[in-house]
Amino acid sequence: MITNLLVANRGEIALRIFRTCREWGVGTVAVHSDPDANALHVAAADAAVRLPGAAPADTYLRVDAVVSAALAAGADAVHPGYGFLSENAEFARAVLDAGLVWVGPSPESIALMGSKTESKRVVAAAGVPVLAELDPESLTEEDLPVLVKASAGGGGRGMRVVRDRAEAAEAVAAARAEAASAFGDSAVFCERFLERGRHIEVQVLADTHGTVWAVGERECSIQRRHQKVVEEAPSGVDEGLRQRLFEAAREVCRVTDYVGAGTVEFLVTDDGEFFFLEMNTRLQVEHPVTECVTGLDLVAWQLRIAEGQALQGEPPRPRGHAIEARLYAEDPRSDWRPGSGTLHRFAVRDVRAEFTVPDRYGIRLDSGVADGTEVSVHYDPMLAKVIAWGPDRTSAARMLAGTLASARVHGPVTNRDLLVAVLRHPDFLAGDTHTDFLTRHADRVLDAGPGEAGARLSVLAAALADAEHNRTHARVLGSLPGGWRNVPSAPQVKTYRHDGTDRSVRYSATRTGPVLEEHPEVTVVAVTPERVLLSCDGVRRTFHVTRHPGLVVVDSPLGSVSLAPVPRFTDPAAELAEGSLVAPMPGTVVRLAVSVGDEVRAGQPLLWLEAMKMEHRVTAPADGVVTELAVAEGAQVEQGAVMAVVTAGEATDVGAVETTEESA
């Protein structure tokens, strides 16, 4: 009987597991790195143990440190969550060797399924369909397109699509280098790449008495860089295909002697073929959608199975439909570049339940952040999982889109607008969910947001609210209208930077209120420092204005707009030299491709920066010569630090940064 559980993880998954532990009367132990000392999961636990350091390799990935923490805190069991050490067979063995209960499958099952090549060999021998493995060194034109994959890893790292034989050698070399960096194993293989496959996965539970449940399937085809962003249950497959997938998943469990919760992932074609991809020997990020439609607490079942309890009867049939959206601190329009910094405000409306199934149809929120949380460069940039459970798929999609659109998320740029655009896209609503969805609809979903009209009105609202804020906080003559004069004078000007562009608002203060001479179609109805009511061509809308250090956020029915106030006078010392390439975030330089004096072409890779579990390729902004290289391999850089300078024959911009791969 488990009495005190250590969760070897952080953030929302630690909080999710703690929720079940509280209901079960099980004590909880958290571990934390130095940046996470004040994190929500630490405050929520009965006890917490520090893992000295900041980087995952020094903290959450230290097998010895985590096991020692469990023993020191008096834990009798360890739950790995997902990510970090959750699929590490050595960690599972170390937990068991320490006399603790391991809440997960056996180390042998983890090791077997951790190798993509070996796991595919075993399940193929059992009759489960797999894609044929191809030798990266002997690809032919007939083999293309292919997907290069790291044998030892997952989460999109060490993965490349090759459509031209001329690209194969470079793609394989890059995949090997990233796999070695991420997993300590450079082995890669190739398999046929299906352009329009569907990613369908089966949730399984297997007890120690030989019973295996297929607890339903999930549709996980909305992906960017081979990583899921929208998941739902059940999928839209027909009943015959569903049962074949269930039987294949159960067979995978049988031939691997699997115990506990896991997910068997398949690639499904439009004509009903399916192929085994891999098995995740842990709880999945998207497990809440299965919990909502089945009513099961999958964490509770993990604990029951770890205690030796048996599965009874049959798994419940699904009720309604659930869709989960992963809210990330990342910028889809800047090649999915992750963000970091202070999350000033995080508010999601109409949440019916957190970390558990709602008592009726509604919104569930699983999140490890709150107002003031620091989004760290050291960890995955996911802020929250927002889940809608409704009577049918359309109602769930509508509910989730509305909730995300109205959420107030102030701080780093997020993928919120993209998620809303996906959920409201006619092809998504029609069930056309293939793995190439975001590629096919990039023009519509990547540039989603308030648009030019929304941005223009939001900037007006920000300027008017700021002027009112300044007037009400004035120490002298605060009762006079801001900027008011006895005789007409030049209009007042406020400037904000939005999406890299400066936007200025000119207005005149009069006895009857502000006048926007450049916007005759707009009437100012009411203004307070936090709320502006504007009428544009006869349509009234309310704009909520919130100020944070160096940031003004305007939320309205048109969308959320983040603005950076531009000072009237700039510091000349802050100007960068032409051709400077700066770090977009704190990170580690993992590879260099050039030296000082090298001639480069525009777009040529210069170096790779690793941050927030992503690898970013920094490229030359123009043809020229590398005249300065301010970093070395292994160097830690701060956001905004100059890493290199490329001198061209003409003025160049700050260098481009491209995100290449990422891990969940």
Strands across the sheet containing 351-354: 274-280, 260-268, 198-206, 212-224, 227-233, 321-328, 382-390, 362-367, 351-354
* pLDDT at residue number 476: 62
For 55-108, the pLDDT digits (tens) are: 999 999 999 999 999 999 999 999 999 999 999 999 999 999 999 999 999 999
Mean pLDDT, the chain, rounded, equals 91
- Residue 653: pLDDT band (50, 70, 90) is very low
Cβ atoms of 163 and 171 within 8 Å: the answer is: no
232 Cβ contact list (under 8 Å, min separation 6): 218, 219, 289, 321, 322, 323, 324, 393, 396
CA distance 307 to 424: 44
176 is catalytic: no
What is the percent of the chain where pLDDT is above 90?
69
pLDDT band, residue 479 (cuts 50/70/90): low
pLDDT at 656: 53
Burial tier of 518 (Cβ tally within 10 Å: 0-12, 13-18, 19+): exposed
In the numeric block, the tokens 């008011």 are attached to 484
C-alpha atoms less than 13 angstroms from C-alpha of 285 in its C-beta half-sphere: 24
Average pLDDT of the segment spanning 180-200: 85
451, 464, 605: which is closest to 527 by C-alpha?
Answer: 464
Which of 97-111, 401-415, 553-567, 629-643 has the lowest average pLDDT? Answer: 629-643
Walk me through the domains of the chain, giving residue ranges and CATH numbers.
4-103 (3.40.50.20), 113-192 (3.30.1490.20), 320-424 (3.30.470.20), 453-565 (3.30.700.40), 576-662 (2.40.50.100)
Q: Is the pLDDT of residue 638 over 70?
A: yes
Return the sign of the alpha-carbon dihedral for residues 373, 378, 383, 385: negative
Average pLDDT of span 146-169: 82
pLDDT (0 to 100) of residue 31: 98
Please give the structure tokens belonging to residue 320. 């309604």
80 close to 95: Cβ distance less than 8 angstroms: no
Average pLDDT over residues 339-361: 96
pLDDT of residue 36 exceeding 60: yes
Share of the chain above pLDDT 70, in %: 92
333, 205, 201: which is closest to 261 by C-alpha? 205
Residue 492 has pLDDT above 90, yes or no: no
Residue 255: exposure state from Cβ atoms within 10 A (0-12, 13-18, ≥19): middle
Are 295 and 357 in contact by the 8 Å Cβ rule? The answer is yes
Instruction: Quick: pLDDT tens for 533-578.
Output: 999 999 999 999 999 999 999 999 999 999 999 987 655 555 667 7
- Rounded CA separation 268/196 (Å): 9
What pLDDT, on a 0 to 100 scale, did the predictor assign at position 518? Answer: 87
Residue 650, pLDDT score: 45
The whole-number pLDDT of residue 663 equals 38
Question: What is the mean predicted confidence (pLDDT) over 203-213?
Answer: 98
Q: What integer pLDDT is reported at residue 603 of this predicted model?
A: 84
Instruction: Please list the residues that pair with 492 across neighbouring strands.
Output: 507
Split at pLDDT 50, 70, 90, the class of 480 is low
pLDDT for residue 37 = 96
Place of tokens 């959750």: 86
d(CA 433, CA 441): 11
CB 195 within 8 Å of CB 208: no
Q: What is the largest CA-CA distance in the chain?
A: 90
Supply the pLDDT for residue 654. 43
Given the residues 19, 282, 416, 456, select the one marked as catalytic. 282
Asked if 203 and 286 touch (Cβ cutoff 8 Å), the reply is no
Which tokens go with 91?
Answer: 């960690």
Residue 662 predicted with pLDDT over 60: no
Q: How many CA atoms lie within 13 A of 44 on its CB side?
A: 22
What is the 3 state secondary structure string of 627-661? EEECCCCCCEECCCCEEEEEECCCCCCCCEEEEEE
Distance CA 152, CA 158 (A): 9
| Three-class HEC string of 382-419 | EEEEEEEEECCHHHHHHHHHHHHHHCEEECCCCCHHHH
- pLDDT of 486 reads 58
Angle at the Cα of 449 (from 444 to 455), degrees rounded to 5?
135
Cis peptide before 381 (omega within 30 of 0): no
Please list, in sequence order, all residues whose beta carbon lies within 8 angstroms of the beta carbon of residue 106, skipping any fewer than 6 positions away.
92, 257, 259
Predicted confidence (pLDDT) at residue 664 exceeds the cutoff of 50? no
3-state secondary structure 123-163: HHHCCCCECCEECHHHCCHHHCCEEEEECCCCCCCCCEEEC
Mean pLDDT of 224-244: 95
Virtual CA dihedral for 135, 138, 140, 146, nearest 10 degrees? Answer: 30
Q: What is the pLDDT of residue 309?
A: 97
DSSP lists the bridge partners of residue 364 as 353, 387
- Tell me the two tokens of residue 29: 């132990």
Res 108: pLDDT: 97
Contact 165, 139 (CB under 8 A): yes
Q: What is the pLDDT of residue 579?
A: 79
pLDDT in tens, 277-300: 999 999 999 999 999 999 999 999
Q: How many CB atoms lie within 10 A of CB 602?
A: 15
For residue 556, the model assigns a pLDDT of 97
- State mean pLDDT over 433-458: 94
What is the 3 state secondary structure string of 182-247? Answer: HHCCCCEEEEECCCCCEEEEEEEEECCCCCEEEEEEEEEEEEECCEEEEEEECCCCCHHHHHHHHH
Check residues 489 and 460 and name the one with the higher pLDDT.
460
Supply the pLDDT for residue 482. Answer: 54
* 3-state DSSP assignment of residue 267: strand
Helix extents (H) in 482-581 = none
Instruction: Work out the pLDDT band at 652, boundaries 50, 70, 90.
Output: very low
Give me the pLDDT at residue 565, please. 95
Model confidence at 488: pLDDT above 60: no
180 and 157 in contact (C-beta within 8 Å)?
Answer: no
In our burial notation (b when 16+ CB lie closer than 10 A, e otherwise), range 347-370 reads ebeebbbbbbbbeebbbbbbbbbe
CA distance 359 to 381: 30
**Nearest Cα residue to 411 out of 351, 342, 487:** 342
In this structure, which amino acid lies at residue 154?
G
Q: Kindly state the helix (H) or strand (E) to which residue 331 belongs, with its residue range.
A: strand 330-331
